[in-house]
Chains A and B, each alone.
Chain A
Amino acid sequence: LAKTTQPISMDSYEGQEVNITCSHNNIATNDYITWYQQFPSQGPRFIIQGYKTKVTNEVASLFIPADRKSSTLSLPRVSLSDTAVYYCLVGPPGAGFQKLVFGTGTRLLVSP
């Protein structure tokens, strides 16, 4: 599975939009980009998945440029409860039969 690179940490304030960028230069043609959120002492939770252009759900948006070598997770109007670690992974879709390769993730701290 392709290796990913993310910032180690980010700080924000309540109500702001947060954009976390992930680079994945060696992404394969059939790979999707998936983002997980993890709170302390809990398992990772699926946030969003996409292949190209833009995907939006009730939680976040995912922007993927044409070359797919990077992606940006956008969290609109963050709140204190969005403080968590965010992981970017690349791999086949519905990859419940593949091992997931996590990096160290991005620690987002949202302050009042």
Chain B
Amino acid sequence: ETGVTQSPTHLIKTRGQQVTLRCSSQSGHNTVSWYQQALGQGPQFIFQYYREEENGRGNFPPRFSGLQFPNYSSELNVNALELDDSALYLCASSNRDRGDGYTFGSGTRLTVV
């Protein structure tokens, strides 16, 4: 059984640019959640996708958007990057129908300069 994989592992972007982060969910999982983790803080929920539909959103502005594909992989897009967007972005997958818990990926470290 493969785990959750995220790409890229590290990324440096300039303020105002756009970024796309990718996540391949664990085999058998149909739900993907994204979290933002600032340095020294716990992960904060951004949004969740279930069967290609957004299924809950945290307190993040609309410039944070996402997609889930038929194979249950997912993308997180952030437009108009701000310095405060610098963080570790974590993807977690689960199987909502089975009631499985989350499996997290190792994250993408985004630095905005």
Interface of A is mostly: loop
> Most chain-A CB neighbours within 10 Å: which of B42, B58, B98?
B42
B50 at the interface (CB under 8 A from A): yes
User: Which of A12-42 touch B at CB < 8 Å?
Assistant: 34, 41-42
B82 to chain A, nearest CB (A): 22
A101 at the interface (CB under 8 A from B): yes
- Bin chain B's interface residue count: 20 to 34
Residues of A within 8 A of B106 (CB): 41-43
Q: Are B42 and A103 in contact (CB under 8 A)?
A: yes
User: Which of B17-50 touch A at CB < 8 Å?
Assistant: 29, 31, 33, 35, 40-45, 48, 50
Q: Are A99 and B58 in contact (CB under 8 A)?
A: yes
Residues of A within 8 A of B95 (CB): 96
Residues of B within 8 A of A44 (CB): 43, 90, 104
Quick check: which of A53-61, A75-83, A87-95 contacts chain B, the rest being far away?
Answer: A87-95
Roughly how many angstroms separate A37 CA and B65 CA in the complex, as a whole number? 28
B86 at the interface (CB under 8 A from A): no
B16 at the interface (CB under 8 A from A): no
B96 at the interface (CB under 8 A from A): yes
Roughly how many angstroms separate A29 CA and B99 CA in the complex, as a whole number? 18
B76 at the interface (CB under 8 A from A): no
Roughly how many angstroms separate A49 CA and B45 CA in the complex, as a whole number? 20
Q: 12 A–B contact pairs at CB < 8 A?
A: A43-B4, A43-B92, A43-B107, A44-B104, A46-B102, A96-B96, A96-B102, A97-B94, A99-B45, A100-B35, A101-B45, A104-B41
Q: Hey, which bits of chain A sit against chain B, CB under 8 A? A: 34, 41-46, 49, 87, 93-97, 99-105
